Structure 1
Amino acid sequence: MDSTQQKCYVCGKESSRKCSQCKEIFYCGEQHQKIDWKRHKFDCAFVYVTDPNMGRCLIAKRDLNPGDVILMEAPIAFGPRPHLVEEGPVPCVGCCRLIMAEKSPRCEGCDWPVCHNDCVGLKDPNKHGHECFILRLRTHKALDGLHEYYRQDALFALRCLMVQRKGIKKWMQFLSMESHMEKRGVGTEIYKEYDDRVINYLEENFLKPLKRLEQDSKEPIFPDMSRETLHKICGIIDVNGLEVNQGAEVMGLYPIACSMEHNCIPNTIHSFEDEFANYRITMRAALPIKKGERITTMYTHSLWGTQARREHLKETKYFSCACERCKDPTEMGTYLSALRCLGSETKPCGGNQLPLNPLDDKTEWACDKCEIKIGNIQASYLINQIGDDVDQVQLSNPTVRELDNLLSKLLTFLHPNHYHCFSVKHSLVQLFGYQQGYLPNQISDDQLKRKAKMCRDMLDITSKIDPGNSRLCLYTGVLLHELHLADVIYVKRKWDIGNKKELLELLKEADESLAKAKEVLKYEIKTMSGEKLHNLMDSSRKEFIRWTQRNKIDLNKEIVE
């Protein structure tokens, strides 16, 4: 056989036509190439390996460039997010959009609250269609205590139990997902919590009547309804569940995507299709990935400090992260967790307190200017107390003045880039120019300059901890749009009296900010927040073009004073 020819990937015929992506697989050019190409184009992106410490991981099978699709996958199960709701809105059992249970109509079959009687999800077998039969087995109806009676937080576990109805292959695939039952078994606090909150609720209200129905009909509806299996289902949901950001309270389980390795600076970005495509996930490369490198995602929040991220991962995913960001006391030069050193009573300092070893839960924190050290317990207590104060203010619909006062207090104890300061600043830049007293015609020049500087500082942070815009695209998009607005408002005020050369640079920055924001948000167009931000940017772009044309400004032409 000619050295340039190999056997066709599908039928075995000799061929010289290679896959353009992996350069390894050959096709003969027959019609079946078009059919099997969909299957192969993801096979050629990654390969599974088993790491003794991390378990199953994905390794790049070829060089991947930003934007390259790595996989597309339908969830093996999806349903309402399993969060306990004690008051307020709950997800519709048909579409998972939030509704007020007390005022909503009821499903004609099971009497559970729905958004409206024509909700397409009510008869969809992938959504409410099949579970409705089980939920209607409860003989009594709710008179009061609706949130305790209609427990949407238990529905996802029920939907996962129903995967058995899809066949043994799907059920075994589901059970092969990690549950960490060795760490959450009988005797643990989490076992008791789920036993009381989910398993008892499902058994008493639905599964016992179902078992009686099975005995009467002598046909098993579910081969396995044991408490052990229900606990394993809850473990699989906790460890693997991905929240689907599609304007509804949805969580999905994706067998391949959920097996990806965690990294606090991930090299992939994921997006979801809408409910009509059953929330299919698409994973793309966010950064260049060389052949043989790990393909990673993130299972916690990018804007949390190292201690908070690692604690969250240990509590929910049962592993301790040791990625490059977690090992670096400065978090890639951002100082996102750094504290201010207060010095001694006689000698103020102003340096930065940083953990000596961020991977040690008992590490000391040392100042980078003086000899003072503090314990991790002391540092954690301070950060948690400040976090409580920030949450309390942020939830109270604060004014610019209230946020400014809070930020002033925080800067006494925290580095200006600390993630609690970032949270307050991100809220502030969205109020400058919008809140009464700080509207575009009211805000001062100094406040506009301050807003622009805060945006630039925060953009510098997001570029370091999320260089592929894989997790903070909405935060970054907002900052870029607010920077655009601050620059434009300032330039409009000064155009007739200011330094044209300096003002032109601000206009260029404003123009580039919108272009960057569009690029950052290109995979967020289908989400509610992303769509809203895209519309705002389109409106800002039109106004920007009108103003520059009206004033005959050419951004590509240098101005000589």
Structure 2
Amino acid sequence: MKDKGGHSSSAADSHHHCKHLDAEVEIPKNTMVASHACGVCGTEAALVCGGCSSVFYCGKEHQKQHWGSHRKECLPYKVVASPEAGKYLIASRRLREGQVLFQEFPLMMGPVSVSPLVCLGCHCAIEGTDFPRCPECHWPLCSSACASSSVHRIECSVLAADTRRIGPPTSQGPPTLRYDSILLLRCLSLRSNRPSDWETMLDMVSHAGHYQKAQDTVHTVTVRYVKEVLKLDLDSDTIHQVRGAIAANSIEIRNVDGTKIRAVYPRVRLLNHACTPNVHLTSTKEGAMEVRTAVSIDKGEPLYICYTGTTLPLWDRQRILNDMYFFRCECNRCTDPTELGTHYSSPKCPECSSRYLKPQSWVNQTTWECDNCRTERSDTEIQEHVREWEERFSMDDVFSQKSVKQIKKMIDCIESEFHARHHVWLTAAQAALRELKAIDTEHSLHLRAELWAKLLSLLSVLEPGLSRRRGIVLLETGIALLDEAKSEHESGNAFVPQLTERLQVAATHLKEAAHILGLEPPGSQSAPLASKAQEKVVTTENFLTRLQEGGVRAE
């Protein structure tokens, strides 16, 4: 994605964005410029389009005249650069939430770096032990038909040079780094097949020097395999550069069958990093990436995605960014000791139960300190304490086969040890909700509604706006409130004003969920969820109507 080594407070047959700008009828305001030609008459320009800063005009009349054609090309973003951050995207005008900025297909896609068996023709997972292989290169396939796939033909003849069959996976087993070479070979093929895309590839940030200096195992093994075994006719520096560019710029997506693959996109790579993103990414079933604003964005503000995942604790986010992208994040969330008021990585102070231990950094060393009593813990102690709890949740029997009372007791214990906005609590709540879904009792429904509401409150800070994850949590929160209301009503013990208020909250959540999930591209995995949310809105509103009319049952 751009220079991940610098910009620490910011830093992953193409559809064109213009069809999403048809409602933008206002001509962008102008800025005075010099030494440019008018886009209409060619004379010296005095103004630049305020929307995209890429077209110039001699005066307002020619800008108005040109707007009919230019409005379809007036980009809502522009590329800027700085010595620290390299190239990145900023908003070229104020952007509303939910606005599609662009949609593009990848330069190339392929298996993830370390992958279980996957077909090189269609990228689907390979099941079982009796699977076909390509007759030329001997790599596993899901069917013999995939041997002639246009995708696999890109690398097949090169892989066939491995006559000793060092590279092809031999059998089912743990994920293997052998697949790391596939996307590399496909991207290297751009040099002769698609020269303009090859130039884009070479323009990408590559941390190859860091990988070589650190003697990164996967990087080193892959480059040596391509150069020494496959004997590709390219110099080692170019192979190192492209492999580094893939590592720094590729994005993990899901194939149609849910298999993890990765892809390199020409513009998505220019999106900067922040641990609280303002842009949302969605891949279509055809493999295109749609980039959409999650919140409103001011003109000149960088466009951010989160490279690490928003729900990781502070140290894990910083470790990934340092190890993979070679910078320390200094976004608004990371530089705020409270993590935007959530204290997401901070435990309670053991001495002052109502206070938290906050991170204090000095010369690359972090300690955690209470600002009230000055109790202090080392970073190692804090991380080990969290890791111990995470290991407990990785065991299948923590919540499995437990009663609602036992699950509630465990959640209360975690809230006492940490708090209800901590990373450990979120991990526990997600595990508990998976179990509670199968328990259909009044107590279970109440606990489900309570946990989903707390999750929604937390996620609305960590991942605000119109993100798919927040849409799903809104949907689940609304359903939980609806189910709880139904149960109370059918028990005959419901207080109608309170029940009405709860259903109104449920309807609000479900409507927002339907809106957010309805923004996802057609055919995406979220499409059925949008329909489900809309159905639940109808159910909730019908229930409210019957309740207000004195009805006695919920459907």
Range of TM-score over shorter length:
0.7 to 0.9
| Corresponding residue number in structure 2 for 1:258 | 269
Indicate whether 1:453 and 2:450 are aligned: yes
TM-score for the superposition, normalised by structure 1: 0.78
Aligned partner of residue 109 in structure 2, secondary structure? strand
Aligned partner of residue 129 in structure 1, secondary structure? helix
Q: For the Cα contact (< 8 Å) 1:97–1:248, is it kept in 2?
A: yes
Distance 1:364 1:130, change over 3 A: closer
Cα deviation, 1:273-320, whole Å, max 9, x if unaligned, reads 333xxx222222222222222222221111112222111111111111
| Corresponding residue number in structure 2 for 1:346 | none
* Aligned-partner Cα distance in 1 for 2:523–2:368: 41
TM-score for the superposition, normalised by structure 2: 0.79
Q: For the Cα contact (< 8 Å) 2:452–2:480, is it kept in 1?
A: no
Indicate whether 1:310 and 2:327 are aligned: no
Bigger shift: residues 515-524 or 294-303:
515-524
Q: For the Cα contact (< 8 Å) 1:107–1:114, is it kept in 2?
A: yes
Bigger shift: residues 415-424 or 279-288:
279-288
Distance 1:21 1:69, change over 3 A: farther
| Corresponding residue number in structure 2 for 1:70 | 101
Cα deviation, 1:116-167, whole Å, max 9, x if unaligned, reads 3445x9533xx22322232334436679546699932321111111121234
Q: For the Cα contact (< 8 Å) 2:177–2:218, is it kept in 1?
A: no
* Aligned-partner Cα distance in 1 for 2:459–2:451: 12
Distance 1:115 1:180, change over 3 A: same
Identity of aligned residues (%): 24
Indicate whether 1:180 and 2:207 are aligned: yes
Aligned partner of residue 463 in structure 1, secondary structure? helix
Distance 1:400 1:509, change over 3 A: farther
Indicate whether 1:490 and 2:516 are aligned: no
Distance 1:351 1:61, change over 3 A: same
Q: For the Cα contact (< 8 Å) 1:328–1:358, is it kept in 2?
A: no
Distance 1:404 1:487, change over 3 A: closer
| Corresponding residue number in structure 2 for 1:83 | 114
Deviation at 1:102, TM superposition (A): 2.2
Deviation at 1:7, TM superposition (A): 8.3
Aligned partner of residue 208 in structure 2, secondary structure? coil
Within 5 Å, give how 1:79-228 maps onto structure 2: 79-85=110-116, 90-100=117-127, 102-107=129-134, 109-118=136-145, 122-124=148-150, 127-139=151-163, 144-145=170-171, 151-186=178-213, 188-190=214-216, 192-196=217-221, 198-203=222-227, 205=229, 207-208=230-231, 224=234, 226-228=235-237
Cα deviation, 1:197-250, whole Å, max 9, x if unaligned, reads x22333455x23xx6xxxxxxxxxx5x2x3332222221122111112453422
Deviation at 1:12, TM superposition (A): 5.2
Distance 1:330 1:37, change over 3 A: same
Cα deviation, 1:17-75, whole Å, max 9, x if unaligned, reads x9896697657879x976x765x232xx2232222322222222222111233333332
| Corresponding residue number in structure 2 for 1:285 | 293
Q: For the Cα contact (< 8 Å) 1:79–1:96, is it kept in 2?
A: yes
| Corresponding residue number in structure 2 for 1:339 | 347
Distance 1:283 1:528, change over 3 A: closer
Indicate whether 1:371 and 2:398 are aligned: no
Indicate whether 1:466 and 2:463 are aligned: yes
Structure 1 segments unaligned to the other structure (5+ residues): 212-221, 344-348
Indicate whether 1:249 and 2:249 are aligned: no
Aligned partner of residue 316 in structure 1, secondary structure? helix
Deviation at 1:529, TM superposition (A): 4.4
Aligned partner of residue 170 in structure 1, secondary structure? helix
Q: For the Cα contact (< 8 Å) 1:101–1:113, is it kept in 2?
A: no
* Aligned-partner Cα distance in 1 for 2:543–2:364: 55
Stretches of 4+ aligned residues off by more than 6 angstroms? 27-30
Deviation at 1:96, TM superposition (A): 1.4
Deviation at 1:334, TM superposition (A): 1.2
The one-letter code of the counterpart of 1:242 is I
| Corresponding residue number in structure 1 for 2:360 | 357
Distance 1:314 1:96, change over 3 A: same
Deviation at 1:547, TM superposition (A): 5.0
* Aligned-partner Cα distance in 1 for 2:493–2:532: 29
Within 5 Å, give how 1:22-41 maps onto structure 2: 40-41=73-74
| Corresponding residue number in structure 1 for 2:3 | none
Distance 1:413 1:150, change over 3 A: closer
Q: Which has the higher contact order (CA 8 A, sep 6+)?
A: 2
| Corresponding residue number in structure 2 for 1:426 | 430
